[in-house]
A and B are shown apart, each in its own frame.
Chain A
Amino acid sequence: MTFFSTPPISTRPLSDAKRPGPLRAVRQFPALSKLLLLVLAAAVLVPLINAQWPGALWPSALTVDVSGPLGKTSDWIIDNRDSHWLFVYFLGHLSNAVVISVRAVYMLLLALGWTGVTAGITLIAWRVAGVRIAATALISFLVSGLLGMWVPTMQTLALMVVAVVFSVLVGAVLGLAGGLSERLFRILRPVLDTMQVLPAFAYLLPVVLVFGIGVPAALLATVIYAAPPMARLTALGLRGADPGVLEAVSSLGATGRQRLLTARLPLARKELLLGVNQSIMMALGMVVIASMIGAAGLGDRVYQALASVDVGAALAAAIPIVLLAIVMDRTTAAAGARLGADTAAIGPKWLRGWLAWTGIAVVTAGLALAGRLSGSLVWPGAWAVDLARPVNDFKEWMVDHLYSGVPVIGGTADWAEHFTNWVLNPLRDGLTALPWYGMLLIVAALAWLIGTWRTALTAVLAMAAIGVLGVWKPSMNTLSQVIAALVVTLVLGFGIGILAAGSKRLEAILRPVLDVMQTMPQFVYLIPVVALFAVGRAPAAAAAVVYALPAVIRITTQGLRQVDSSAMESARSLGATRWQILRQVQLPLARPALLLAVNQGVVLVLAVVIIGGLVGGGALGYDVVTGLATGDLALGLVAGVAIVCLGLMLDRVTQPTERRTTGKGV
């Protein structure tokens, strides 16, 4: 399994949540009694509440306005930024350090020239991950050059190297703490959850207020986003270490530190490497968003191309981002896969050990020198391909032919209209018309049925927090969009996943498509979705489906594949049809995987709510974007927190509790 940029909010092991079937029947009764209790509570409370605060929307008497204090904080930062010790002696140095590090890496990359960089990275990929990935790396860098994106690619690469190093350091420290202490681990988990689910847009503004626009702010925002997977996986690795081995080491008289360094860390190295891999992918996911606060590089090219509504130019800058992601993912994943294997088995002898690394250095230096002598350090300008024009022509063609008036099935604009009128509008109106306490009761019932009273309490509190923050109405609007997009994603994802599980060939064809869908910056398909689906909530839903679909397909396919083949064999021998096997054997046995797919769907759809704000989705996404654009700290941050609360609530009402408790807490 490649862990291709799926935010690992819950990469919990799939297999250890099997639930005994007969228990289900017994569970019917507690469920009934829970419902009865809730109905009773409702019967008592609802008339009281209704008398006190009539109306469907959250009562304004129960809200807290945070815009005052947040506005003051923002003013304080602006007024004290140049004089207060916190900035002058601490944050200022941090900011300087970032600039110096990024500059050092960038200068190194420029000094190596395109020949040196391409050769160096190709050779390293060869050494670490084999010939095929080396070829991918070689082609990727040549393509970046051909597209005329060499300099921005190097800027992005420099930023990524430093961001990943910082993320890994921060993540490892947090993970060490969480791995060694149960208490710290429990404190850390919600923090990490928030870091990942809080939309990056919501903390761009605070970061900008403190650091100003530019590389330090962009890098910091990236680290906040990319460090959590490293922390989670480090903690997981340390906690999962074989107790037998640890026992043996202690019996040899090792001190705590020795035990950590000689046993626990080495045993956890697979998880550590996976953590690095995940951090890289998350960091790359931030490239375009970080460019909104002045990160330069490829993201900036995508963002600027959008300003002139030029999909072709945006794509030309996005392709190197995708390629960088693929090369880095495959290289680190392959390195991880080989960690356990016998090193001697890899490649010919001259490719191993110190000799190989020296060889790589020598060849790279040689090629860098050759490039320098030939006088083209950056990239020979004549070797460039103009991608923008054909892509724009293709987009025009597509829009002209699909937008409307296609016989029988209608055009994309018609679908969008129907989807808005028949799905989104009723759903939104229903959720807004539903009294707020009704919403709380439904959430409580769902969460309680599926889990414990704690689950229900968390879900209800999350919803209540939305009300207290005074964003009930936009949140209901956003919730309706998220539910609609989620249902479409799950229907398509499960369908395609089932097909792919049945056919190796289809899976092989899908793989690169899914890779691209997952790593392509969402900003690139912003214009095409508007061109196809018209401004509004429908293109927002379309963007969310595009983004969330790959993870759902992947997890479904994998889950179905992992189903015990003997169970299927016995069903087949009993004369079950393929459909029967699927429905009665495969799907029930793959239930944990399907639930994980739902969870990932929720997380990923929520991640696109902001992008939805940029294409007319309105509601919370629009508020977050507005907060950033108008420097309104309260507006953006409150909307961001409301998105987190929605995520928390959806997670609690869709994920049975066993998974949460048996999962090792990744």
Chain B
Amino acid sequence: MSRKRTTIIGTAALAGTAVLALSLSSCGKADMTKQASPFAAAKGSKSVTLSVQTWVGAQSNVGVAKYLLEHEMGYHVDTVQVDEIPAWDALSQGRVDAILEDWGHPEQEQRYVKDKKTITAGGGNGVTGHIGWFVPKYWADKHPEVKSWKNLNKFAKQLRTSESGNKGQLMDGSPSYVTNDKALVKNLGLDYEVVFAGSEAAQITQIQQFAKQKKPFLTYWYEPQWLFNQVPMVEVKLPKYTDACAEKGAKDPKSIDCAYPTTPLQKYFNTEFAKKGGSAAAFLKNFKWTKDDQNEVSESIASEGLSADEAAKRWVEKHPEVWKKWLPKK
């Protein structure tokens, strides 16, 4: 019966480890903000954790920052992929040290930056983001009038799918993205149905599929985005964005009837990291590039299939004049 005994002993040993771990940590207060990932910092104590969001632009920022931190400055960098709002939460808790591309979350900003002061604004990353409605260029070339919202109803019939019923389909993406599309369709009197693809991956796949067949489509999309290089798209003009309209929308999101604003994308740091993060924090504060730079990296990741690390390396080798300025002076 030695088999059975060993199983029990094995289980007991594992259980013992768990209990030991519990008791090791259980003396006095446990600060929940002071835990790194168990996989982190195996190589040394100089470690930074960056949050990556699901879109490729965010991967590019993080890829380049990570490459430089590791190869030029001797840091170990961990990355965590997480949705935007949980990422703010993680930033405030110190689970991650920095977000390198935020598209504007006023509520979170109020709570963490202004009230709790656990997060510090890190300035812009140099890229300006813009959300809008887009149609493929091959279609707009044939029907230039589609480029204004006023004419959209004429094309609704062409954009019908089995999901949108007898209305035209306006495709939206991931639930985590900022969108007013349902309100816009209603307030502008458009004969369209908003169909949520549910994730950016699904949305991109669908756009690629449409493009392959040269089918018309109308989609919520944003710049900067690498997909524009593969599937050229042009923007549909919506009623002009004004501060008054934005203010009205802030009070009642259902009343919005104008275009999306252009957003200079922001960096945010954990406050303690910003103060005590030394040269890594200084470097990330200096990090600032252009839309073209970012798209160059994104394109190599998304359509050439390079890893973020390889893509970053390629860009870093080509553009020393850009990133040399980011390195903190010794």
CB-contacts of B46-90 with A (<8 A): 52, 54-56, 59, 80-87, 89-90
In the assembled complex, the Cα of A293 lies from the Cα of B90 at a distance in Å of 10
* B208 CB, min distance to chain A CBs, angstroms: 8
Does chain B have a CB within 8 A of A100? yes
Does chain A have a CB within 8 A of B110? no
State whether B86 touches A208 (Cβ < 8 A). yes
Does chain B have a CB within 8 A of A657? no
Q: Can you pick out 17 interface pairs between chain A and chain B where the beta carbons lie within 8 Å of each other?
A: A95-B32, A98-B38, A102-B39, A158-B39, A212-B32, A213-B86, A292-B82, A296-B80, A304-B81, A399-B209, A526-B199, A530-B206, A531-B208, A535-B203, A614-B201, A617-B198, A630-B85
Interface residue from B15, B89, B213 paired with A631 (Cβ < 8 Å): B89
State whether B11 touches A96 (Cβ < 8 A). no
State whether B202 touches A530 (Cβ < 8 A). yes
State whether B175 touches A629 (Cβ < 8 A). yes
Does chain B have a CB within 8 A of A93? yes
State whether A628 touches B83 (Cβ < 8 A). yes
Does chain B have a CB within 8 A of A99? yes
Does chain B have a CB within 8 A of A571? no
Interface residue from A399, A526, A534 paired with B201 (Cβ < 8 Å): A526
State whether A97 touches B85 (Cβ < 8 A). no
Q: Contact string, B172-183, partner A, CB cutoff 8 A, digits 1/0?
A: 001110000000
State whether A616 touches B196 (Cβ < 8 A). yes
Closest 3 CB pairs of A and B: A92-B30, A629-B176, A96-B25
Does chain A have a CB within 8 A of B251? no
State whether B80 touches A307 (Cβ < 8 A). no
Does chain A have a CB within 8 A of B2? yes
Q: With contacts A99-B38, A420-B162, A631-B85 known, is A213 near B209, CB below 8 A? A: no
In the assembled complex, the Cα of A103 lies from the Cα of B89 at a distance in Å of 24
State whether A630 touches B175 (Cβ < 8 A). yes
* A245 CB, min distance to chain B CBs, angstroms: 17
Does chain B have a CB within 8 A of A626? yes
Q: With contacts A88-B30, A307-B59, A622-B196 known, is A101 near B89, CB below 8 A? A: no
In the assembled complex, the Cα of A535 lies from the Cα of B86 at a distance in Å of 26
State whether B195 touches A303 (Cβ < 8 A). no
* B257 CB, min distance to chain A CBs, angstroms: 23
Judged by DSSP, the binding face of A is: helix
Give 4 A-B pairs besides A294-B90, A534-B206 with Cβ atoms closer than 8 angstroms.
A99-B36, A294-B81, A308-B301, A616-B163
Does chain B have a CB within 8 A of A404? yes
Return chain B residues, CB-CB under 8 Å to A211.
32
In the assembled complex, the Cα of A534 lies from the Cα of B208 at a distance in Å of 11
Return chain A residues, CB-CB under 8 Å to B83.
292, 628-630
State whether B25 touches A100 (Cβ < 8 A). yes
| Stretch in contact with the other chain, from B16-24, B151-159, B232-240, B284-292 | B16-24
Q: With contacts A103-B38, A291-B81, A357-B6 known, is A97 near B198, CB below 8 A? A: no
In the assembled complex, the Cα of A335 lies from the Cα of B6 at a distance in Å of 12
State whether B175 touches A625 (Cβ < 8 A). yes
Does chain B have a CB within 8 A of A655? no
Q: With contacts A82-B32, A630-B175 known, is A165 near B18, CB below 8 A? A: yes
| Stretch in contact with the other chain, from A52-60, A309-317, A485-493 | A309-317
Return chain A residues, CB-CB under 8 Å to B163.
420, 535-537, 616
State whether A629 touches B85 (Cβ < 8 A). yes
Return chain B residues, CB-CB under 8 Å to A313.
305
In the assembled complex, the Cα of A255 lies from the Cα of B103 at a distance in Å of 66
State whether A216 touches B198 (Cβ < 8 A). no
In the assembled complex, the Cα of A416 lies from the Cα of B161 at a distance in Å of 11
Does chain A have a CB within 8 A of B317? no
In the assembled complex, the Cα of A266 lies from the Cα of B30 at a distance in Å of 39
Return chain B residues, CB-CB under 8 Å to A613.
175, 198
Q: With contacts A300-B81, A307-B54, A417-B162 known, is A535 near B195, CB below 8 A? A: yes
Return chain A residues, CB-CB under 8 Å to B22.
93-94, 97
In the assembled complex, the Cα of A208 lies from the Cα of B88 at a distance in Å of 12
State whether A312 touches B29 (Cβ < 8 A). no
State whether A531 touches B209 (Cβ < 8 A). yes
Return the chain B residue nearest A152 by Cβ: B39
Return chain B residues, CB-CB under 8 Å to A107.
42
Return chain A residues, CB-CB under 8 Å to B213.
403-404
State whether A208 touches B89 (Cβ < 8 A). yes
Q: Contact string, B232-269, partner A, CB cutoff 8 A, digits 1/0?
A: 00000000000000000000000000000000000000
Q: Contact string, B80-109, partner A, CB cutoff 8 A, digits 1/0?
A: 111111110110010110000000000000
Return the chain A residue nearest B42 by Cβ: A110
Does chain A have a CB within 8 A of B171? yes
Does chain A have a CB within 8 A of B278? no
Most buried by B among A88, A98, A535: A535
Return chain A residues, CB-CB under 8 Å to B301.
308
CB-contacts of A567-596 with B (<8 A): none
Interface residue from A87, A95, A628 paired with B35 (Cβ < 8 Å): A95
Does chain A have a CB within 8 A of B165? yes
Return chain A residues, CB-CB under 8 Å to B322.
none
Most buried by B among A99, A166, A294, A526: A294
* B136 CB, min distance to chain A CBs, angstroms: 16
In the assembled complex, the Cα of A308 lies from the Cα of B81 at a distance in Å of 13
* B307 CB, min distance to chain A CBs, angstroms: 8
How extensive is the interface on chain A, given as a class?
35 or more
Does chain A have a CB within 8 A of B140? no
Q: With contacts A97-B18, A212-B93 known, is A534 near B35, CB below 8 A? A: no
Does chain B have a CB within 8 A of A36? no
Return the chain A residue nearest B199 by Cβ: A614
Q: With contacts A310-B305, A425-B165 known, is A101 near B37, CB below 8 A? A: no
Return the chain A residue nearest B207 by Cβ: A535
State whether A309 touches B302 (Cβ < 8 A). yes
* B203 CB, min distance to chain A CBs, angstroms: 7
Return chain A residues, CB-CB under 8 Å to B196.
616, 618, 622
State whether B175 touches A296 (Cβ < 8 A). no
In the assembled complex, the Cα of A214 lies from the Cα of B35 at a distance in Å of 9
Interface residue from A93, A417, A527, A539 paired with B30 (Cβ < 8 Å): A93
Return chain A residues, CB-CB under 8 Å to B80.
213-214, 294, 296
Return the chain A residue nearest B52 by Cβ: A304
Q: With contacts A212-B89, A214-B80, A536-B195 known, is A169 near B21, CB below 8 A? A: no
Interface residue from B3, B17, B81, B205 paired with A527 (Cβ < 8 Å): B205
State whether A343 touches B89 (Cβ < 8 A). no
In the assembled complex, the Cα of A297 lies from the Cα of B200 at a distance in Å of 22
Q: With contacts A308-B56, A357-B6, A630-B175 known, is A403 near B209, CB below 8 A? A: yes
CB-contacts of A73-127 with B (<8 A): 78, 81-82, 87-89, 91-104, 106-107, 110
Return the chain B residue nearest A205 by Cβ: B86
State whether B200 touches A307 (Cβ < 8 A). yes
Does chain A have a CB within 8 A of B14? yes
In the assembled complex, the Cα of A562 lies from the Cα of B302 at a distance in Å of 51
State whether B162 touches A536 (Cβ < 8 A). yes
Q: With contacts A95-B32, A535-B171, A614-B198 known, is A78 near B89, CB below 8 A? A: yes
Return the chain B residue nearest A82 by Cβ: B33
Return chain A residues, CB-CB under 8 Å to B59.
304, 307-308
In the assembled complex, the Cα of A92 lies from the Cα of B213 at a distance in Å of 54
In the assembled complex, the Cα of A227 lies from the Cα of B49 at a distance in Å of 31
State whether A353 touches B2 (Cβ < 8 A). yes
Return the chain A residue nearest B118 by Cβ: A82
Return chain B residues, CB-CB under 8 Å to A621.
198
Return the chain A residue nearest B200 by Cβ: A307
Return the chain B residue nearest A623 by Cβ: B175
Return chain A residues, CB-CB under 8 Å to B197.
530, 535, 615-616
State whether A165 touches B15 (Cβ < 8 A). yes
Return chain B residues, CB-CB under 8 Å to A143.
none
Does chain A have a CB within 8 A of B188? no
CB-contacts of A346-371 with B (<8 A): 352-354, 357
